Amino acid sequence: AKLFQKGYAEKIICTGKNIPAKLAKLGYPYPESEITKINLIRHKVPENAIETIVEGTSTIEESDIILDYCVKNKIKSVMIVTTQVHTRRVKNVFENKFKDQNIHINIQGSPHSYYSMDNWWKNENNFEMVTGEIAKTFYYFLKY
């Protein structure tokens, strides 16, 4: 929302098919893409500037979806916003395939609602997030 309000984008594309289990248990079975849209609207982004694509359950799937969207819409520059802890893996996944299509990418890390870059090893949730990201990065290296 802050990047949009500063004029860095005319449109925001929200992807994600996963439904967060905690929200589903509370009676809110919305996919990640819709939750992001709701949050953007709550932060004063006009609804007509937001598009949701209710697809993608992983970074690799979402990279393919976004690439396809860019190619179909002749977009030559895209900013990918993700949480700070995910930026390295996102960059690795997106960089080559977008370069092959002559599309410039800019990866931006946003603060996470509960993850802190400072002293992450002192908090169990932060530790799990970082070690999980390391495992996913290694898995992506081996598989893709």
Q: How confident is the model at residue 116 (pLDDT cuts 50, 70, 90)?
A: low
Q: What is the pTM of this model?
A: 0.82
d(Cα 142, Cα 48) in Å, to the nearest integer? 40
Q: What is the pLDDT of residue 126?
A: 74
The residue among 125 and 45 whose pLDDT is bigger is 45
Reported as a single tens digit per residue, the pLDDT across 17-38 is 999 998 899 999 999 999 999 9
Q: What is the pLDDT of residue 114?
A: 65
